[in-house]
Amino acid sequence: MESKKELTDDIGKWSEIKLDIIQGYASLFQQILSKKFTTIYIDAFAGYGVHKSKESGVEIEGSPLRALKVNPQFMEYHFIDKDADKVDHLEALINPSDYDNVRFYTGDCNLVLKKQILPKITFESFKKAFCVLDPYGMTLDWDTVLACGKTRATDILINFPIMDMNRNALRANRETVTEFNEEKMNSFWGNDSWKKIAYPETQYELFGEDSPTKIKGTVDRILNEYLRRLKEEAGFQCTLKPLPMKNSKGAVVYYLIFAANHRKACDAMRYFFRKYGGDEYGSKI
């Protein structure tokens, strides 16, 4: 007999911290903006709605359910996931009679956001959105991030999947990167300029290497360039120093990157970055 699919996933302490940050910022967002704007919460990779702690085994509410508990409530909620099972499970956890302001979408968030949600969010229409972009690996397109920035009214929190990048795209030897993973990185980055950051031609020309080899400091350069592009290309007014989320062995699984269209938003998120990472992670970039 085929085993029944478990409709949850196990998460580590770093993911629990991420959920606390999302809920905390969403609460501040509402306290500050809900009286002046139509406020919108977007979860682009919404998941099942619940998780299980690897440490305690206790069931933990995911970001969509936490956002629904924020008081005052957001005026609109948009929950997206490509996995129909996850969307169905999440929808079953939410009583429709309690929430007439929640919409569910089954599909690629990159398409759903650009075609159905973001075009309706503009600063001129007195709308403000908080969008959580927590992709499964490198499945977030740069074009989607650009679209968020162009609204001039959307704060974003991005899971920057550096461990997945290192395993699949930013490999020690570029010749071992598959075409599939190269294309995934191109979509995440928006073009192939990441190659020159990870594999500068000067290195293997100087030392006579047969193939491009990643050099020390690649992660820092990749992060810094991504932050620069968030401001100069996507148009966000401010970003914070990325917060590293580490597993039980101390390895960085991903970075949390925050970008907003108002410096006061960065001031609000700074509290949470410093709370979980120390004073250095509250600095604006």
Structural domains of the chain ordered from first start: 10-161+235-282 (3.40.50.150)
Q: Are 122 and 33 in contact (CB under 8 A)?
A: no
Cβ contacts of 177 within 8 Å, gap of 6 or more? 168, 169, 171, 185
Q: What average pLDDT is seen over the chain?
A: 89
- Predicted pLDDT of residue 236: 97
- Predicted pLDDT of residue 282: 63
- Residue-wise pLDDT for 5-32, tens only, equals 556 677 778 888 999 999 999 999 999 9
Cβ contacts of 237 within 8 Å, gap of 6 or more? 231, 260, 261, 262, 263
Q: Nearest Cα to 128, choosing from 58, 212, 224, 30?
A: 30
Going by pLDDT thresholds of 50, 70 and 90, the confidence category of residue 201 is low
Integer angstrom CA distances of residue 264 from 51, 86, 132 = 32, 34, 18
- Residue-wise pLDDT for 153-177, tens only, equals 999 999 999 999 999 999 888 889 9
Tell me the average pLDDT across 214-229.
88
The C-alpha torsion from 64 through 70 and 72 to 78, rounded to 10°, is -10
Q: Are 118 and 147 in contact (CB under 8 A)?
A: yes
- Predicted pLDDT of residue 206: 45
Residue 108: count other Cβ atoms within 10 Å of its Cβ. Answer: 16
